[in-house]
Structure 1
Amino acid sequence: MKLSDLFYETWHALSANKGRSFLTILGIVIGIAAVIAMTSLIGGIQTMLMGEMGFEQARQVSINAYSSRGITFDDLDKLKTGMPEYDTITGITYSSSEFTGADGQTNYMGITGVRPAYFAVSGSKLKEGRFFTDSEEQNAARLAVIDSNSIMQLFGSADAQVVGQTIRLGNDDYTVVGVIDSTSFMSGGAQAYAPFTTVETRLGGANGISQIIGFAKEGTDMDRLVETTQSYVAQYFGLDAEEVYVSSLDAIIKQMETMMTSFSLLMGSVASISLFVGGIGIMNMMLTNVTERIREIGLRKSLGARR
């Protein structure tokens, strides 16, 4: 039989049983579409989450040490000397302040006091404007860098040109010099970054450094670094190991990857069940067709058809 005859007979068989053919094709399409959709969905979610967290910042380490005498930048310099695995070690402090939003309502803004090195360590992406400089930080300049989520609350429009504008924090006006991209992990409230000395002296920041942020050198074993950092910082400040909490973004990323892999297996199983059910439907149709063909062949042979 010619290939063209096979195509003709196939088309004739499909046309003769339109309902059955439609249901069979629908089962195939749904099964394959479910697998493709689930795979694409998992891949998209994983890419989005990892993009938000930033693979580039996997070398970031967060250190919380509860020292009664406080932590200074001189301490950080000594920690950096004692732990050469780090490229940079810096500190931050926290505060908050009331502000009147564009809607006239009074809200609170979280303020983080940092040195310029923090922006490089944290992987902050500058959307417009600039970061403040070391000299501005040393002189306690009244400057602020806000995240893009805060623009709407402060100025009433997400598209407002805010660089160069002033915002009222505490008893002073602060000039907005830059805007950084917000991530889905940031809270919905307004957030601002100001020079460390400004927050400490003008906005009632904590006495000394509240949290230590480190950025490890490329190729460093992050799991081992977390362990050595915890023991070294505890020894330096005379604390118990339980009083020093150290975490790395690399560990968080690995946990996220493990979670997404498990989620992918779960969703893949659901999609596979859809494909399996579609396959059973196809086999049922094939069995029905074979049964019908047996009768047709018997009829033809009784009329003298050859094998």
Structure 2
Amino acid sequence: MTFKHSIKTALGGLHSNTSRSILTILGIVIGITAIMLVLSLGAGAQNLILSQIQGMGSKTIVTVPGRQPSGPSDFANVFLDSLKERDLQSIRNKANVPFAEDVMPVVFGSVRLSYQNETYQSTVLGGGSAESNNVMSDIFDIYPEQGSFFTASDVLSKASVAVIGDKIREKLFGDIDPIGKKVRVKDKTFQVIGVLGRKGQVSFFNFDDMILVPYTTAGQYLLGRKYFDRIIVSAVSEETIRTTVNDIEMTLRANHGITDPEKDDFFVETQADLADRLKTITTALTLFLSGVAGISLFVGGVGIMNIMLVSVTERTREIGLRKAVGATNSDILTQFLFEAVLLTSLGGLIGITLGSSLSFIISFIISKFALASWSFSFPYLGAGLGLLVSAFVGLVFGLYPARKASQKAPIDALRYE
């Protein structure tokens, strides 16, 4: 029997049992659909996170208080107040960190804003520099659409001035021009001097939904802190990033009396480091969820084997007739094996189509109503592997029923009622 004839015979067998064929591939369809959905949405999330991180610029270096967690037990050994004013001044000192172009401390926390009868829960971000007027624009690539940023003198004087995100402007002021208006932040009054244009997420900061004030003001009057949540440094060039990281680490260890790097009470990350770490996390999560979804493929494979065993029993006379007119054991084996592989491959194709369609719809909804920068991503490698895995499932779980069919004696098969 030729290869072409084997496929034709297998297709004929599937067509004569359409309802059973549909039920047989259901598990495969569900499994591949789930895998495609996870891979596509996982790729979309990864692309979104990477684009947000890159929004801070490739030369940006972030120093974070606390030990870099490498496992669940590390979260009990953090030092959230380890970055102080002395550390900031030491990093600014060119003798310690010569390739630091901009240095900015950051503090942040949740606050309630109010204007007249309107209130809004938001996040305050204290930043700026006592040495530069443009440090926030340079580091975060954000610019006021109206008004201006606070200045170095505002930072030094702990001025009660604020720049608000576009979402806050919309919630508190509506159509009113907010420039010059007074808003209450906790128990303190701030004058709005600027409004940011729509920016969205940059790294872990959503500037559309934030109020920006001088870090000196935020630390003393709003958050009651004498330490920083981050110290952000911009290196003079990409070539000096690694040197700058080493200089920051050596400076902070000297300040904190640390001789063993394993006992650091801070960690320093470049944007590339952060991107790699988050990429590893999202990839591991995607693989885990794909593995969970892949369990349905195994269940589907068992279902295919059981249903094909029933099919072999019901088609015993057909097998006997085919053998009586010259079909060999190999022909029968090939026919039933092809049926199993064609079934699972068809299920894989349906699953790929269905999973991609669902992912496209979900991505459209997310980009329309939640995250404008979210984009649909089709996992070509995942689709190809999904189809191969589907065919492999059919080959593995279809082999036993196919062998059982091929070993039936023609005389006994013809006598079967």
TM-score by length of 1: 0.68
Of 268, 292, 301, the residue aligned with 1:247 is 268
Tell me what 1:87 maps to: 101
The answer for unaligned runs of 5 or more in structure 2 is: 66-81, 328-417
1:298 aligned residue? 320
2:136 is matched with 119
SS of structure 2 residue aligned to 1:181: coil
AA partner of residue 100 (structure 2): Y
The corresponding residue for 1:60 is 61
Deviation at 1:214, TM superposition (A): 0.7
CA distance in 2, matches of 1:301, 1:91: 83
Match in the other structure for 2:145: 128
Q: Distance in 2 between matches of 1:2 and 1:108?
A: 71
Shift of 1:20: 0.6
Alignment of 1:114-263 (within 5 A): 114-115=128-129, 116-120=133-137, 122-126=139-143, 128-129=145-146, 131-132=148-149, 143-155=161-173, 157=174, 160=175, 164=179, 166-169=181-184, 170-171=188-189, 173-179=191-197, 181-183=199-201, 185-186=204-205, 191-194=210-213, 199=217, 210=228, 212-216=231-235, 217-220=237-240, 222=242, 225-235=244-254, 238-241=255-258, 245-250=266-271, 251-263=273-285
SS of the residue corresponding to residue 82 of structure 1 reads coil
| Conserved 8 A contact 1:93-1:208 | no
1:270 aligns with 2:271: no
Q: Structure 1 stretch 137-146 or stretch 24-33: which is displaced more?
A: 137-146
Q: 1: distance between equivalents of 2:86 and 2:145? A: 33
1:24-63 → structure 2 map (5 Å cutoff): 24-54=24-54, 56-57=56-57, 59-62=60-63
The structure-2 alpha-carbon separation of the partners of 1:277 and 1:220, relative to structure 1 and needing over 3 Å to count, comes to farther
8 A Cα contact 1:167 1:175, kept in partner:
no
Q: Secondary structure at the match of 1:83?
A: coil
Letter in 1 for 2:114: T
What is the Cα deviation at residue 123 of structure 1?
A: 2.2
Q: Which has the higher strand share?
A: 1
Number of corresponding residues: 295
Which blocks of at least 5 consecutive residues in structure 1 are unaligned?
Answer: none
What is the CA deviation profile of residues 12-44 of structure 1, one whole-angstrom value per residue up to 9, with x for unaligned ones?
A: 534432321111232332232122112112212
Conserved 8 A contact 1:96-1:111: no
The 1:131–1:34 alpha-carbon spacing in structure 2 relative to 1, beyond 3 Å, is same
Q: Residues 42 and 260 of structure 1 are in contact (CA less than 8 Å); yes or no, is this contact kept in structure 2?
A: yes
Root-mean-square deviation (Å):
4.7
Give the structure with the larger helix fraction. Answer: 2
Is the Cα–Cα contact under 8 Å of residues 163 and 178 in structure 1 kept in the other structure? no
What amino acid sits opposite 1:61 in the alignment? V
Normalised to the residue count of structure 2, the TM-score between the two structures is 0.53
| 3-state DSSP of counterpart to 1:268 | helix
Task: State the shift of 1:288 in Å.
Answer: 4.1
1:69-108 mapped onto 2 (5 Å cutoff): 70-71=85-86, 77-78=92-93, 80-91=94-105, 99-101=113-115, 103-105=117-119
Stretch moving more, 256-265 or 187-196 = 187-196
